[in-house]
């Protein structure tokens, strides 16, 4: 899915691409196209280094234009503005189930432990926070964010509470980490956003990521995913990395592998600078049947049977259609978008206990994950392994 009749172009290549589009149009009868169509080609700056161009009907379908231009120009100058979806699925692995008087799964880590995330900052780009998120003790301090627009007047829309559940899962592992939950905002007028639809265009998300960097996070969690027409990283993510991210020392990025039971790479999880996270079953012994997989998935963590904060309100299910439920604050939910904050929480917890940067802590934990890989699945991590490393942790760590 992509933004209709639009392509993204590196700003330095705009003139070259515009000329190539004019040449393509000269190959067809363009008598019906005049100054108005040419005016619509005026580039819109998405963020520094990247512009959005509007196509007209004579140009043909946007995917055909992108593939043809990149081949003709001999360099990847253009791409589609993809629609990224939370977990890249019509819903997460399954829709939330109400839970009453239950403890979070995974459980809240000991708050007084040195490995608690204290002093570590995590940014989450998601739907924002439920209005009543602070009713849960593990979210009542040190968690900030935009309002979740998918929760209003006692009703929970599809994807409502997603950002709250992600933040709660992360804080279960790192209960003293400072967490900012960004509700992805509309940047280009008229487009869907994570905060209103559970989906957003990658150009908007790139700008939201750029803005989230202002919090100076040690760890960043991106809970959306998309496929691409050439199985390469979206151009807007490449531009963001080249202009900003690669110059930030010590920052760890994570994203879900998505829930399509497929080997097809999903982005940003498959980007070289992102840790792609797949899902394990509730017992942690197998890959969850919905989880994507492949060499581009870096690590797996529990993604089934998770229990954490949602919100209070009424929910109408998509499957089965018309079924309804009332939530009192907690939910059981599953998906790679929820295994991702488990790994992010482990990184935050480890960084606080060792004074490693987010990236260093991630490197150490991934080494450990590879050392305990499950055959046929891949590297794995479990919620109580923040202090573990590949050579063992000493007498204080029961896991080793």
Tokens of 332: 């059981």
With H, G, I as helix, E, B as strand and everything else as coil, classify residue 11.
Answer: helix
Query: Tokens 């009713």 appear where?
Result: 135
Instruction: Give the pLDDT confidence score for residue 399 in this predicted structure.
Output: 52
Instruction: Give the pLDDT confidence score for residue 131 in this predicted structure.
Output: 96
Burial class of 316 by CB neighbour count within 10 A (0 to 12, 13 to 18, 19+): middle
CB 118 within 8 A of CB 176: yes
CA distance 220 to 362: 12
CB 220 within 8 A of CB 269: no
CB 292 within 8 A of CB 336: yes
CATH of domain 84-371: 3.40.50.200
Instruction: Give the pLDDT confidence score for residue 261 in this predicted structure.
Output: 93
The per-residue b/e assignment along 140-168, b for 16 or more CB within 10 angstroms, e otherwise, is eebbebbbbbbbeeeebbbbbbbbbbbbb
Instruction: Give the pLDDT confidence score for residue 375 in this predicted structure.
Output: 97
The sign of the torsion formed by the CA atoms of 319, 162, 386, 307 equals negative
CA distance 34 to 357: 56
Instruction: Give the pLDDT confidence score for residue 264 in this predicted structure.
Output: 96
The sign of the torsion formed by the CA atoms of 62, 15, 204, 251 equals positive
Q: Splitting the chain (400 residues) into consecutive groups of 10 residues, what average pLDDT does each group show?
A: 92 91 71 49 82 88 93 89 76 82 93 88 95 96 93 92 97 97 64 75 90 95 94 94 94 96 96 97 96 97 97 92 94 96 98 96 97 97 88 54
Running DSSP on this structure, what letter comes out for residue 396? T
Order of strands, edge to edge, in the sheet holding 83-86?
Answer: 199-201, 83-86, 224-225
Instruction: Give the pLDDT confidence score for residue 245 in this predicted structure.
Output: 94
With H, G, I as helix, E, B as strand and everything else as coil, classify residue 186.
Answer: coil
Instruction: Give the pLDDT confidence score for residue 400 in this predicted structure.
Output: 54
CA distance 380 to 399: 14
Instruction: Give the pLDDT confidence score for residue 196 in this predicted structure.
Output: 73
Q: Where are the domains of the chain?
A: 6-81, 84-371
């Amino acid at each position: 899915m992509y933004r209709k009749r639009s392509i993204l172009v590196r700003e330095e290549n705009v003139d070259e691409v515009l000329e190539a589009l004019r040449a393509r149009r000269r190959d067809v009868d363009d008598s019906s196209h005049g100054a108005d169509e040419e005016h619509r080609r005026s580039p819109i700056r998405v963020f520094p280094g990247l512009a959005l161009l509007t196509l007209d009907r004579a140009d043909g379908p946007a995917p055909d234009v992108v593939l043809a231009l990149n081949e003709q120009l001999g360099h990847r100058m253009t791409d589609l503005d993809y629609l990224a979806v939370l977990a890249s699925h019509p819903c997460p692995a399954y829709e939330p189930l109400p839970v009453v008087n239950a403890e979070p799964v995974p459980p809240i880590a000991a708050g007084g432990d040195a490995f608690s995330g204290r002093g570590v900052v995590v940014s989450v780009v998601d739907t924002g926070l439920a209005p009543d998120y602070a009713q849960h003790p593990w979210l009542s301090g040190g968690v900030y964010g935009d309002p979740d627009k998918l929760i209003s007047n006692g009703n929970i829309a599809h994807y409502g509470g997603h950002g709250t559940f992600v933040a709660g899962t992360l804080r279960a592992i790192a209960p003293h980490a400072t967490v900012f939950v960004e509700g992805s905002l509309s940047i280009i007028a008229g487009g869907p956003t994570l905060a209103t639809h559970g989906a957003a265009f990658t150009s908007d998300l790139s700008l939201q990521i750029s803005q989230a960097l202002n919090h100076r996070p040690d760890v960043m969690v991106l809970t959306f995913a998309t496929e691409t027409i050439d199985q390469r990283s979206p151009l807007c993510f490449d531009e963001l990395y080249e202009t900003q991210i690669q110059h930030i020392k010590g920052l760890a990025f994570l994203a879900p592998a998505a829930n399509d039971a497929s080997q097809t790479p999903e982005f940003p999880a498959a980007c070289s600078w992102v840790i792609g996270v797949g899902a394990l079953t509730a017992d942690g012994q197998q890959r969850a049947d919905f989880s994507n997989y492949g060499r581009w998935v870096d690590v797996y963590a529990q993604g089934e049977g998770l229990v954490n904060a949602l919100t209070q309100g009424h929910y109408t299910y998509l499957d089965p259609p018309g079924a309804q439920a009332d939530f009192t604050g907690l939910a059981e939910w599953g998906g790679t978008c929820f295994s991702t904050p488990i790994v992010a929480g482990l990184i935050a917890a480890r960084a606080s206990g060792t004074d490693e940067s987010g990236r260093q802590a991630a490197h150490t934990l991934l080494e450990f994950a590879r050392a305990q890989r499950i055959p046929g699945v891949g590297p794995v991590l479990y919620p109580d392994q923040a202090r573990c490393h590949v050579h063992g942790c000493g007498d204080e760590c029961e896991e080793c």
